[in-house]
Amino acid sequence: MKFTILALTLVTGLLQQSSFAKPLIEQQIVERINQGLQQSTDTLQQVVNINSGTLNFEGVKEVADVFIAQFDAIGFDTQWVDGSEFNRAGHLVASYGTKGPKILMIGHLDTVFAKSDDFQRYQTLDNGFVAGPGIIDMKGGDVIILSALKALKGLNLLENVSVRVVMTGDEESSGRPLSLSKKAIIDAAKWADIALGFENADSNIKTAVVARRGSVGWQLNVEGRAAHSSQIFSEKVGYGAIFETARILNEFRENLVGVGNLSFNPGIIVGGTQINVQPQNATAGAFGKSNVVAKEVSVRGGIRALSLQELTDAQKVMQEIVAENLAHTSARLTFSEGYPPMSPTDNNYKLLSMYSDISESLGYGKVSPVNPRNAGAADISFAADHVDMAMDGLGLMGAGAHTKGEVADMSSFAKNMHKAAILIYRIGESELD
């Protein structure tokens, strides 16, 4: 049963009035986390040093096993959801409690770094920074989830909430169909009242995510009449596939740039007399000559929108543009399944206000909403429509995610554990069911 948002709002208001008093029990939460900080850091180093590129199924499962052992040790029920049906390693689900507000905590086990990549190890740098593959996206966030729950369990403060942790094994490259690969998150979200995501978002400890744009792939296939180039633009030959593609892409730009929070990008294009596209490994090749009118073009890209309406409107405009073909050309535009938007809601902002109040009470400063254009798609988008409140960006901060320059600012590690644990505690103390 979804809990009463109005009651939570009233409780939040009361807590805000005395936020700087920092109750004794919240000090105890902070101290407990600090006592376990070395173990948390050791766990972070252990999982970062395990390659878990999305397609390294054994590595993803090995990372999951590290977390499973630690969740088991604190009394959680753990489950490994096999991913063979959607061609991925699988997901970790850990659950605790049967009463109080239901909280879903979301992480992911995989990274963008393949097993063959030379960026593989945890490395301590100067000034409190640490480098490592997936350290902020998002093994640091996974450890924050675990450490916050460990501290609360050790202080017997998890009894007023029910928690379900879902750490997916395919966030960086989702298995297909999405109905299967995202089922663990969607099912947990339907159960939950609140969803908390521990991505790094824009890697600014002073921000959190209350809205994310959805992400959908698109593919444009264009055909023209192959002929000697001396006959291009003639009544018999027309304009060829490349000119028609250029027209379409330019009109996409002219009609959709600056519309709301929309963005779109043609990421790969190939054209000529004959083309060979291999989407499974994101490569393409072509044969063509400068004196031959191009017969085929293929373009693959993505589109991001903050609401389903924004996405639907953009797709309609794009299809209308594609249909107005130049002479002797044809074009077909298709959209793939993708990540839905996490729309900004009043309740998401209320949850952020509660989190920001906690941050201020700890002396860490106010937390403001991330600009949706600065936060990519994430698994929480599949949960947001099913819960009363959702917030993301609570993970380990740093820079260079998805690059070999990925580094963590370890000054944010314990701080975000403190904030997450106290948020869960305060939600439980609201005694709402």
pLDDT in tens, 12-38: 544 444 444 458 999 999 999 999 999
pLDDT digits (tens, 9 = 90+) for 139-156: 999 999 999 999 999 999
* pLDDT for res 281: 75
Which pLDDT score, from 0 to 100, does residue 22 have? 55
User: Across the chain, what does the average pLDDT equal?
Assistant: 94
What's 342's DSSP letter? B
pLDDT at residue 424 tops 70:
yes
Strand residues in 350-416 grouped as ranges (E): 368-369, 389-391, 398-399, 407-409
Residue 182 has pLDDT above 70, yes or no: yes
Quick: pLDDT tens for 334-389.
999 899 999 999 999 999 999 999 999 999 999 999 998 887 789 999 999 999 99
Radius of gyration of the chain (CA): 24
- Residue 139 makes CB contacts below 8 A (sequence gap 6+) with 44, 47, 48, 63, 109, 111, 132
Res. 8: pLDDT tops 70: no
Asked if residue 95 has pLDDT above 80, the reply is yes
pLDDT at 1: 47
Which single residue is written with the structure tokens 């009233």? Answer: 10
C-alpha to C-alpha distance for 251 and 282, rounded to whole angstroms: 25
| Longest Cα separation, the chain | 84
Identify the pLDDT of residue 377: 81
User: Closest Cα partner for 395 from 406, 410, 382?
Assistant: 410
Asked whether the CA dihedral 280, 116, 201, 94 is positive or negative, the reply is positive
- Residue type (1 letter), 36: G
Q: What is the pLDDT of residue 20?
A: 45
Task: Tell me how many degrees the CA angle 251-256-258 measures, rounded to the nearest 5.
Answer: 135
Nearest CA to 378 among 393, 356, 389, 397? 393
2 — pLDDT class (breaks 50, 70, 90): low
- In the chain, the domains with their CATH numbers are 5-212+342-429 (3.40.630.10), 227-335 (3.30.70)
pLDDT of 232-251, one tens digit each? 999 999 999 999 999 999 99
Q: d(Cα 397, Cα 70) in Å, to the nearest integer? A: 23
Are the C-beta atoms of 387 and 193 separated by less than 8 Å?
Answer: yes
Distances (CA, A) of 10 to 97, 102, 351: 25, 19, 12
According to DSSP, residue 202 is labeled T
pLDDT at 15: 47
Distance from C-alpha of 204 to C-alpha of 395, rounded to nearest angstrom: 10
Inter-CA distances, 224 with 12, 236, 271, 351, Å: 63, 11, 11, 54
Percent of the chain whose pLDDT exceeds 70: 94
Asked if residues 144 and 165 have their Cβ atoms less than 8 Å apart, the reply is no
Average pLDDT over residues 185-204: 97
> Which residue, among 359, 330, 346, 375, has the nearest Cα to 137 in the 3D structure?
375
Residue 431 has pLDDT above 60, yes or no: no
Mean pLDDT of all residues in 54-78: 98
pLDDT band at 6 (very low <50, low <70, confident <90, very high): very low
Q: What is the pTM of this model?
A: 0.87
The distance of Cα 367 from the centroid of its chain, to the nearest Å, equals 20
Bridge pairing between strands 194-197 and 389-391: parallel
